[in-house]
Amino acid sequence: MYIEVKEACKNYVQDGKKFVALDNVSLSIEKGEFICLLGPSGCGKSTLLNALAGFEKVNSGTVTIDGKEVTSPSINNITIFQNYGLLPWRNVQKNVELGLESKKVPKSERAEIAKKYLELVGLSGYEKRYPRQLSGGQQQRVAIARGLAVDPDIIFMDEPFGALDAITRMKLQEDILRISHEEKKTIIFVTHDIEEAVFLADRIVVMMADPGRIKSIVKVPLGEHRNRTGENFLYVRDRIFELFNMKTDEYIEYYI
């Protein structure tokens, strides 16, 4: 399996009190999968993502990518956060070229690549603008173009659309779904929004808090084009709602 988490545990001690952020979490992910980590606040979504991305180490258990243990962030992967992380003194094009500069890609090639990905995220014509001259949704598009430009193996996304209004958010969800099929990337996406997860994921990892753990893993057999009001979509969404309402604590592997 491409990505393997085996019996991972992560504890934090805060003011003398122990929080179990991840309690014996195991998860396997195939190359090219779109995985959503879904659950309420504090269930360990970001902790799991950070362990996968190499920002944090687990206390016990293992995290491997392509057979190698993850000990630090890899330049082959990128992470996109809620706050866009653009450099305010660089225009859109220069922001997208950032990762390419550190990879020593020649100038003309950088411009070509930036053009391609700005087109892919629908921002052709915005090259010379600065981040402050863009809406939140446009800034996040630039961040996505910048991430894709370095041709990463894995894209980690931590609530990337959390700060956006509902309509912009839906538009970006459509774009990232399309891009994920066009670019065939492995994407691990953190959200607490059930509909967002059903709209995007091949599989949804449903997590619960205190201690942070995986409750179930739900396959989403909805294909490349998803309709938020379609019968199948609503069916999957309702199954997930039910999972969150269930009182029992047993682990269920769900195949819809």
What does the binding site for ligand ATP look like in residue numbers (CB under 6 A)? 12, 14, 19, 21, 39, 41-47, 192, 212
CA angle 144, 149, 155 (to 5 degrees): 55
Q: For the sheet containing 17-29, what is the strand order?
A: 17-29, 3-14, 60-65, 68-69
DSSP state of 168: H
Q: Which is nearer to ligand ATP, 47 or 93 (CB)?
A: 47
The Cα–Cα gap between 216 and 126 comes to: 42
Give me the amino acid identity at 193.
D
Report, in Å, the least distance between residue 236 CB and ligand ATP. Answer: 21
Report, in Å, the least distance between residue 23 CB and ligand ATP. Answer: 11
Give φ, ψ of 208 to 5 degrees.
Answer: -125, 160
Q: Which is nearer to ligand ATP, 131 or 212 (CB)?
A: 212
Q: Which is nearer to ligand ATP, 15 or 224 (CB)?
A: 15
Report, in Å, the least distance between residue 132 CB and ligand ATP. Answer: 27
Q: Which is nearer to ligand ATP, 203 or 213 (CB)?
A: 213
Report, in Å, the least distance between residue 197 CB and ligand ATP. Answer: 13
Query: Is the separation of the CB atoms in 96 and 139 below 8 Å?
Result: no
Q: Which is nearer to ligand ATP, 207 or 220 (CB)?
A: 207
Report, in Å, the least distance between residue 188 CB and ligand ATP. Answer: 13
Residue tagged 């993502």 (tokens) = 49
